[in-house]
Structure 1
Amino acid sequence: MSKSAATRARPLSPHLQIYKPIPTMVMSIVHRITGVGLYFGILLVAAWLLAAATSEDWFNTVSAIYGSWIGRLILFAYTWALIHHMLGGIRHLVMDTGKALGKQSSTTVATAMPFVSIGLTLLLWVVGYFARGA
């Protein structure tokens, strides 16, 4: 007697462990992660604005926290997430117009994304420090 349909091996649905990571897939995942990071990072901006509107003591306390090395590291990561997410959005906007949809061009743009976002983040922080006079 042959096996019934219920006992035959069924095909598995593909998942991330099956696929080889390619730049476009990795950048899509990073884009989602930076979106979540921005969601929580906006709380930092809200706390800063609330402190600025509340009192000078509270503003100085928040400024001291953000000015510490761990605060600056978090703000740097937030800045990178903001720039990376913005570049990902621009990338998708360009792709929505029908450009850069080919395998080579989309892979090239996705491969350049981390380097461009890190470079722009560093540039923004350097300009910020020079403008501040620190």
Structure 2
Amino acid sequence: MSAQKRPLSPHLQIYSKQMTSVLSILHRITGVILAIGSLGLLGILVALSLGEQAFSATQACLASGLGRFALFAYSACLMYHFFNGIRHLFWDAGKGFAIPDVYRSGYAVIVLSVMSTLGIWWLALRGGAV
């Protein structure tokens, strides 16, 4: 037998992207981002405990363009992970496994995540918090 040059198992170049797989991968990615971002929140709390000067420097950093982007990305990840986590809780209870339900709940997660993130930032900017 001659050795053929082919992949040993299916890979991403063969499969088309499906909503279910993309949302699953995104859930894992947002979980990692939230874990790393929680260290940033811990840094904010440490700066707060160190006094006014340290916290003022932290506030200035967060008020910069990059700081605001990081806060926006963190809040978007938090909202997505939250709503998709609720979706997973329903699955754990044995509900919503039919394909139409899976897609319906997937779209609901996306819409709720976007709307809640934008709502949070609209309220924050309107109130002058950011």
Q: TM class, shorter-chain normalised?
A: 0.7 to 0.9
Deviations 1:80-131 (A, max 9, x none): 0011111111110011111110011101221332222111111112223344
1:77 is aligned to 73
Confirm or deny that 1:42 pairs with 2:38.
Answer: yes
Greater mean alpha carbon deviation, residues 88-97 or residues 7-16: 7-16
Aligned AA for 2:94? Answer: G
How large is the Cα RMSD of the aligned pairs?
Answer: 2.1
Mind listing any 5+ residue stretches in structure 1 that lack a counterpart?
A: none
CA drift at 1:11: 8.2
The separation in 2 between residues aligned to 1:110 and 1:17, in whole angstroms, is 23
2:61 corresponds, among 62, 65, 68, to: 65
AA aligned to 1:84 is Y
Distance in 2 of aligned mates of 1:14 and 1:71: 40
Q: Which residue of 1 aligns with 2:97?
A: 101
Per-residue deviation, 1:15: 2.3
SS at match of 1:84: helix
| 1:24 aligned partner, one-letter code | T
1-side partners of 2:73 and 2:129: how far apart?
22
- Per the alignment, residue 22 of structure 1 pairs with 18
Q: TM-score by structure 1 length? A: 0.85
- 3-state SS in 1 of match to 2:8: coil
Q: Percent identity?
A: 39
DSSP-derived class of the 1:19 partner: coil
Number of aligned residues: 129
Q: Which residue of structure 2 aligns with residue 122 of structure 1?
A: 118
Structure 2 gap segments, 5+ residues each:
none
Q: What amino acid is aligned across from residue 10 of structure 2 in structure 1?
A: P
- For 1:98 and 1:128, the matched residues in 2 are separated by 38
Q: Distance in 1 between matches of 2:8 and 2:129?
A: 59
Task: Tell me if 1:111 matches 2:107.
Answer: yes
